[in-house]
């Protein structure tokens, strides 16, 4: 353990400071496909009874009309965050009829590309922009890849903690710059160590055989309808199926906020020859992508973690970061656990808190080119073969046994788990940590191993397993419907969101082409 880490832990352990750890904020975004009673993609529109996907704060869609996204408020206690998420699920199930929420991250058997419905957001300019952006994703990456679902875990440290750390570090710069630099340092450490999360929580070692659409791959046949890799933890986070090279050279530097935003700004401003050849519109003048640049918008960049800031109306993510700095981080690499009704449980959340605090407080030197490449290589190695006995990773240019490094990391994370338990007068974080030690000692306890074990034991295909779990989860949610007051509150939110969408559509006067040009110019200074 470094001196800096020890000093920061000692500072937080002081009686006056320890309660601050109860003020960390947590939010969850859970994506999930709607499927029919046979485990096929639901081709029905987004249920109007759930409200407007454009304006509802908690229930929207991601890529597809069939891909729901549930968003919780930020809460100080992750138990309350999960309770929020559960209430959203219960409301959704009150409106889904015979449909189910697909239990794993990897999609159900998908129809032909042209039959996968892209999410629609109404006739307003912003609604049409969201739709055209998704058309661009289909053009660039194919629709099937966009139907993969995940859990996003949003986390922030209390704003009152940063001045203490800044004073202890002897930093005399602006508080905003210090906070941003500290979050970027957290992200660097996350890049170093996030392979551990994939080993512990990866839950997608298998997928439906039709998913890759005949593309070349290295997967093996588990049965006629299921592909897998024997030691994989998270095929969702592997490079399978991505034939597009536009993002290959885009590795934003996390050594400071300015270089990160500059790299993304360049990507949304730099034409990519293949996209230029396709053009923004078809021959008959129909929009097919927002622009011909490496990224249409900054959120197109596929990353395992992002620095974030709540945006104001009409503000783009890069603008918010540049104007007011980093406010929280969004962890994007978590699979949906198909054994959990919510896709995540409190034990995982408690460990994530300890892990992220470790990343925030541990020393985090700049990432050089070689270490940056090792971070990427380690991550991809673990998602494809993380449970392979004797697997070695690269640490500071030297091979190290995964189990050895994982044990050392968990020893360090135990310090933040202990602090969190002291702050909350509990032992839950220590228990969550012990559960992860058990997985390191026995890979059979990991969710990826458990998925494969169930498939083999029950002789089920991926689709049969996932549909059975989806049905089981539906029964769980429907057994305990919301209270009358809670149901009415969600009903009111749905009606309000539909009214807000209608108001936006009524007030729109600008031609769509001009709206897109202004949106593009807001970042690049140049029209689309």
pLDDT tens digits, 448-458:
999 999 999 99
CA distances from 297 to 136, 138, 241, 251, 479 (A): 10, 14, 22, 16, 42
Tokens of 214: 């005949």
Residues 191-211, mean pLDDT to the nearest whole number: 97
Polymer length of the chain: 528
Which residues sit opposite 101 in a β-bridge?
34
Confidence of residue 528 (pLDDT cuts 50, 70, 90): very low
Please report where in the chains the tokens 């401003």 appear, as a residue.
Answer: 269
Estimate the share of the chain in helix, then strand, then coil, as percent rounded to the nearest 5. Answer: 50, 10, 35
DSSP string for 16-75: TTGGGGGG-EEEEEEEEEEE-TTSPBP-SPPPGGG--TTT-SSEEESSBTTEEEEEPPPB
CA atoms in the 13 A half-sphere facing the CB of 155: 25
Tokens of 82: 């999960």
Which residues sit opposite 204 in a β-bridge?
234
Residue 443: pLDDT above 60? yes
Residues 9-35, mean pLDDT to the nearest whole number: 97
Condensed to tens digits (0 to 9), the pLDDT of residues 144-153 reads 999 999 999 9
- The span from the CA of 378 to the CA of 292, in Å, is 32
Confidence of residue 216 (pLDDT cuts 50, 70, 90): confident
Please report where in the chains the tokens 């994982």 appear, as a residue.
Answer: 406
Neighbour tally for 506: CB within 10 Å: 10
Coil/strand/helix, residue 148: coil
Angle between helix 3-12 and 346-361 (nearest 10): 120
Condensed to tens digits (0 to 9), the pLDDT of residues 412-439 reads 999 999 999 999 999 999 999 999 999 9
Residues 499-524, mean pLDDT to the nearest whole number: 93
For the chain, what are the domain ranges? 3-524
Higher pLDDT, 73 or 252: 73
Beta strands in 368-474 (DSSP E): 392-395, 398-401
Q: State residue 243's pLDDT score.
A: 47
Coil/strand/helix, residue 313: coil
Residues 492-505, mean pLDDT to the nearest whole number: 98
Please report where in the chains the tokens 């519109």 appear, as a residue.
Answer: 281
Tokens of 198: 């994939």
Contact, 379 vs 304, CB < 8 A?
A: yes
- The span from the CA of 253 to the CA of 328, in Å, is 18
Residue 67: pLDDT above 60? yes
Architecture of the CATH domain 3-524: 2-Layer Sandwich (3.30)
- The span from the CA of 211 to the CA of 219, in Å, is 12
Query: Whole-number mean pLDDT of the chain?
Result: 95
- The span from the CA of 465 to the CA of 104, in Å, is 10
Dihedral sign computed on CA atoms, order 298, 301, 307, 309: positive
């Amino acid at each position: 353990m470094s001196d800096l880490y020890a000093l920061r832990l000692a500072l937080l352990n002081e009686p006056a400071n320890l309660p601050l750890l109860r003020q960390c904020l947590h939010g969850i975004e859970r994506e999930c496909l709607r499927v029919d009673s046979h485990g096929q993609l639901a081709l029905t529109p987004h249920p109007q009874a759930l409200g407007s996907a454009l304006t509802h704060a908690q229930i929207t869609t991601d890529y597809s009309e069939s891909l729901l996204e549930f968003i919780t408020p930020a809460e100080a206690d992750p138990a309350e965050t999960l309770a929020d998420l559960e209430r959203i699920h219960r409301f959704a199930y009150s409106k889904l009829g015979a449909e189910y929420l697909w239990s794993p991250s990897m999609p159900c058997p998908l129809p032909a590309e042209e039959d996968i419905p892209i999410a629609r957001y109404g006739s307003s300019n912003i609604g049409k922009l969201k739709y055209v952006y998704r058309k661009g994703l289909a053009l660039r990456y194919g629709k099937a890849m966009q139907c993969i679902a995940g859990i996003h875990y949003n986390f922030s440290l209390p704003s009152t903690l940063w001045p203490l750390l800044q004073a202890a570090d002897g930093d005399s710069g602006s508080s905003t710059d210090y906070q941003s630099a500290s979050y970027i340092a957290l992200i660097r450490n996350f890049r170093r160590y996030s392979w551990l999360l994939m080993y512990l929580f990866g839950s997608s070692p298998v997928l439906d055989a039709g998913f890759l659409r005949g593309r070349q791959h290295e997967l093996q046949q588990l049965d006629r309808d299921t592909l897998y890799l024997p030691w994989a933890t998270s095929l969702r986070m592997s490079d399978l199926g991505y034939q597009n090279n536009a993002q290959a050279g885009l590795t934003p530097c996390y050594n400071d906020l300015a270089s990160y935003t500059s790299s993304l700004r360049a990507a949304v401003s730099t034409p990519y020859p293949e996209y230029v050849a396709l053009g923004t519109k078809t021959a008959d003048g129909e929009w097919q992508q927002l622009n011909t640049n490496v990224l249409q918008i900054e959120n197109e960049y596929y990353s395992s973690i992002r620095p974030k800031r709540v945006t104001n109306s009409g503000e783009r993510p890069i603008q918010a970061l540049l104007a007011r700095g980093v406010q929280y981080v969004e962890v994007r690499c978590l699979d949906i656990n198909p054994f959990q009704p919510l896709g995540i449980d409190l034990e995982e959340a408690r460990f994530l808190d300890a892990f992220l605090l470790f990343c925030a407080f541990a020393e985090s030197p700049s990432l050089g080119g070689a270490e940056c490449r090792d971070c990427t290589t380690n991550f991809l190695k673990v998602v494809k073969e993380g449970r392979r006995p004797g697997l070695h990773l690269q640490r500071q240019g030297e091979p190290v046994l995964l189990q050895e490094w994982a044990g050392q990391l968990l020893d360090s994370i135990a310090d933040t788990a202990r602090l969190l338990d002291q702050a909350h007068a509990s032992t839950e974080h220590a228990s969550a940590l012990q559960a992860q030690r058990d997985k390191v000692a026995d890979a059979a306890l990991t969710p990826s191993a458990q998925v494969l074990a169930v498939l083999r034991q029950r002789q089920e295909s991926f689709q049969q397993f996932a549909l059975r779990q989806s049905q089981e989860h539906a029964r769980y949610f429907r057994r305990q419907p919301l209270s009358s007051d809670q149901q009415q509150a969600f009903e009111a939110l749905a009606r309000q969101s539909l009214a807000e969408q209608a108001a936006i559509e009524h007030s729109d006067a600008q031609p769509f082409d001009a709206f897109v040009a202004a949106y593009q110019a807001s970042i690049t200074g140049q029209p689309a």
